[in-house]
Amino acid sequence: MPNIIKVPTLGELAYESIKAQILSCRILPGEKINIDQYSAELGVSTTPVREALSKLQKEGLVQYVPRMGWKISKISKQEFRKLQEVKSLLEITLAERALPFIKSSDIPQLTALNNQMKDLANSFAGGKPDLEKLLEANDLFHMYIFRFYNNDIMIEILQQTWNNLRYARLIWISSQEFFDKFYDEHNAIIDAIKNKDRDELRSAVEKHLHCGLGYMEECLEDK
């Protein structure tokens, strides 16, 4: 039988387009969404755009305010702390549970990912860093570890939490503290994995999770 190619609906196309703009911070938190403008830009009616926004609302990326309309979700310090707690619990748990499944032959790839991230950071010396690329490199490093533990549901929840924290994480990764410490902290995680030491790994992950948090909170709303 011939392969059946699934053609995305207009609502799915609108969803992917708007989500990409949110996650790349081309639309900033708190910014109002003009449905007519987006439908014109995407060449669709307003119905697919509304469908896309309803789906994005379930993911926490947009919100509907009565008498005001749709806007990009804006995270407060209180919301950030709650999401950060979920993120920390998931990352620590996934790292610990992945540990028994990581072989010595897997370590070189992990080291290579960290070195690639360092090279990327160094390439920005004296100029404005590409925070999206740097965040992507950071996530590749950590997700390489997490995926050794076979629990797709936990991975999916973590990725959704990362998405909800996207703007805050771009602030986090722009901090000087992160630039100064990420390489050594990643190496500490790698060393703990080499040693098959669960306590050492937990300590290294926790330390890395606290890097740049103060700077990030300073940039968020109080309410």
- Residue spans per domain, the chain: 10-72, 77-218
Q: Which CATH number fits domain 10-72: 2.60.120.10, 3.30.360.10, 1.10.10.10, 1.20.1250.20?
A: 1.10.10.10
Q: Residue 120 belongs to what H/E stretch?
A: helix 107-122
Residue entry with tokens 């040693």: 195
Q: Name the token pair of 27.
A: 């639309």
The share of the chain scoring above pLDDT 90, in percent, equals: 49
The lowest-confidence range among 22-31, 156-165, 181-190, 205-214 is 22-31
% the chain with pLDDT above 70: 92
- CATH classification (class only), 77-218: mainly alpha
The 10s digit of each residue's pLDDT in 46-94 is: 999 999 999 888 877 788 888 889 988 777 788 888 999 999 999 999 9
Beta strands in the chain (DSSP E): 62-65, 69-72
Across the chain, mean pLDDT equals: 88
Which DSSP string do the residues of 80-112 spell out, in sequence order? HHHHHHHHHHHHHHHHHHHGGG--GGGHHHHHH
H/E segment holding residue 220: none
Residue-level pLDDT at 4: 64
Can you tell me the distance from the alpha carbon of 131 to that of 48, in angstroms, rounded to the nearest whole number?
A: 31
Q: What is the pLDDT of residues 15-57, one digit of tens each?
A: 888 888 876 667 777 889 999 998 998 899 999 999 999 988 8
pTM attached to this predicted model: 0.72
Q: H or E segment at 143?
A: helix 131-146
Give the CA-trace dihedral at 173, 176, 179, 180, to 10 degrees.
-150
Helix or strand or coil: residue 223? coil
